[in-house]
Amino acid sequence: MVSQPVGGTNPAHQSESYPTPPRWEPSPSLLGGGIPSFRRSAWFLAATVGMFVVGWALLVALFQPVRLIAQAPRPQVAVEATSALCQLFGAFVLVLFPQGETRRRLRWVAAGLATMGIGGLVIGNLWPMWIQTIDPNASMYASLVVWGTSAILLAVGLLPRRAPTLSARAVVAVIGGFGASSAIVLGNYERLPTLTTVRSLEAAATANEMPMTGLTAWHWSLAAVPMTLTVAAAAAALYRGHGEAWQSWLVAALVLLAGSQLHDALWPSANSTVLTSAGLLRLAFGALVAVGGILELRGLADERASLLAAARKHAEGLAEVAALKKDFTAMVAHEIDQPIAAVRAWTDVLAEGELRPELQSRAISTIRAETHRLQTLAADVKAIATVDRDDFTVRPRPVPAAELVAASTAHNRNLPGCHPFLANALAEADVLADPERIGQVLRNLLNNAGKFSPNGSPIEVRAVQSGAVVRIEVVDHGPGIAPGDEDQIFEKYVQGRYKGNGGTTGVGLGLYLSRRIVQAHGSELVVKSTPGGGATFWFDLQVAGSPTDPPISAGRVPGPTGLVSDDVALSNSV
């Protein structure tokens, strides 16, 4: 005995469940394409920026007319302040990233940008306001501390395969270490190795020499440290990434940062009033960080808008389910009320004493019919609670088609009304079917035929073989299906516009349940109707052992989100 999951071969017919709001994740790469195409584009961008920066450094070293070394106090202050503010803005944006590996990496990048931003504001703008004349060695050491600290933070976040978590304790340690190292270096720079013999950068700017005269080996050695770490961090950001949008602008920005450090090594501005090419590259770095931050904020806004739309749709779905439950309760109460009233009335009649035989027979027949109606309603509700479960399965096995038709004959005496019943099993083959579930389908179809057909009209069940399938049909001679209702009648809690005999309808579960069971057998329940000329419901079952017999395996397929399956207690109470 094997099992086949619901909708195993007809996933398109499974009902759609109400969505749950997704977790926010980083927006995909703005460059488009997959990871390989992203890396090619990012490599091209990084290589282009890198060649531009290095080429510019060679030009300014070799050709005096293209050198940018000038005393410009106001522009230099504006460049340093703007670059620092852009870096702080980028750090703030990167802190907003979601949980996960990306957030761990970008938290360290944010710390590096914040260090550069705060350091640039302090030593590039506030410090010169306090001290009129600053020794170039002190200023150069201060710049090295800022760049070195930020480069270490960038490397810690981008170089490891799995970035460590930037905890509150780590933040305190970074702040304390940065402050302590800055105080030690600035308080003892005269005892440290000399970086330059120049005493006035402004005076040296008039000589317009490249590289600047008086730079020592200690300067070149120490300047190479943050530059090397920054280049390594840029390469790691390109290699470690998975095509996120932040990589494209961050890699290019880090290349610009490394280029500004290269230009500063050739002619240190050292937070003086001298404007150099290094200052312009730092401004370009800050501007690119700001643009990247704006792009990330836009992506964040788009993702949050999608999240809000999904949450709104989810809320609407919950409201719809609540309305369905309310309507369902009213329908069930209505369907139960009539049979109970009839049973109570005839029970009171029987309790009055002896009755004429024909009246007694009528009372017993009515009570039996109404109790059967209640049993059918309870069975449908319980069946829906089962069929909508995630683990609902059918267990097809070879069964004679004639046996399925014969089983429906036994149900004939319980049909509503009085109808001649015809059972024609023209197929002698065995079919793959779950007899209990297919029996439910036939009983539902026969109940509908009896309910909607006028008394005295025949109802027919037939099985006809055509090749590797056997078609089972239920034919009635009622009013048929109203135009436009052919698909809707198979939905849960939906009823056709035509009323049954005596105005009876139902709760709209039988056909939905039947279609789900038939779909679990790899087939489809179909109706063909002519208004006023009756309706024919039919479905196909595979002949057992046929060459086209599809493989059937046990499994589970998530069923639709259902009203009754969400509250199985309701079926038990019914």
Question: Which of 54-58, 207-211, 555-559 shows the lowest per-residue confidence on average (mean pLDDT)?
Answer: 555-559
> Do 291 and 400 fall within a single domain?
no
Cα separation, 514 vs 518, whole angstroms: 6
Cα separation, 414 vs 222, whole angstroms: 97
**Residues 488-533: pLDDT tens digits?**
788 876 666 555 555 455 566 778 888 888 988 999 999 988 777 7
Q: What is the mean pLDDT of the chain?
A: 76
β-bridge pairing 274-276 and 526-529? unpaired
Find out whether 222 and 16 touch, Cβ atoms under 8 Å.
no
Tokens of 226: 């943050």
pTM: 0.51
pLDDT at position 321 over 70:
yes
Cα separation, 516 vs 440, whole angstroms: 11
Specify which residues 551 forms β-bridges with: none
Pairwise pLDDT comparison (121 vs 61), residue with the higher score: 121
pLDDT at position 2 over 60:
no
Q: Is the preceding omega at residue 211 within 30 degrees of 0, hence cis?
A: yes
> Do 62 and 201 fall within a single domain?
yes
> Do 179 and 96 fall within a single domain?
yes
> Do 267 and 202 fall within a single domain?
yes
**Residues 99-145: pLDDT tens digits?**
566 888 888 999 999 998 998 888 776 776 666 667 888 888 988 99
Q: What CATH number is associated with residue 552?
A: 3.30.565.10
Q: What is the total count of domains within the chain?
A: 2
DSSP 8-state code for residue 123: I
Cα separation, 135 vs 130, whole angstroms: 13
Q: Where among 310, 331, 346 does a domain terminate?
A: 310
Residue 474 covered by a domain: yes
Cα separation, 567 vs 418, whole angstroms: 36
Which residues span the domain enclosing 509? 357-573
Residue 336 covered by a domain: no
3-state secondary structure of 216: coil
Cα separation, 269 vs 131, whole angstroms: 17
> Do 290 and 366 fall within a single domain?
no
Residue 23 covered by a domain: no
Find out whether 95 and 107 touch, Cβ atoms under 8 Å.
yes
> Do 374 and 306 fall within a single domain?
no
Q: Where among 280, 310, 340 does a domain terminate?
A: 310
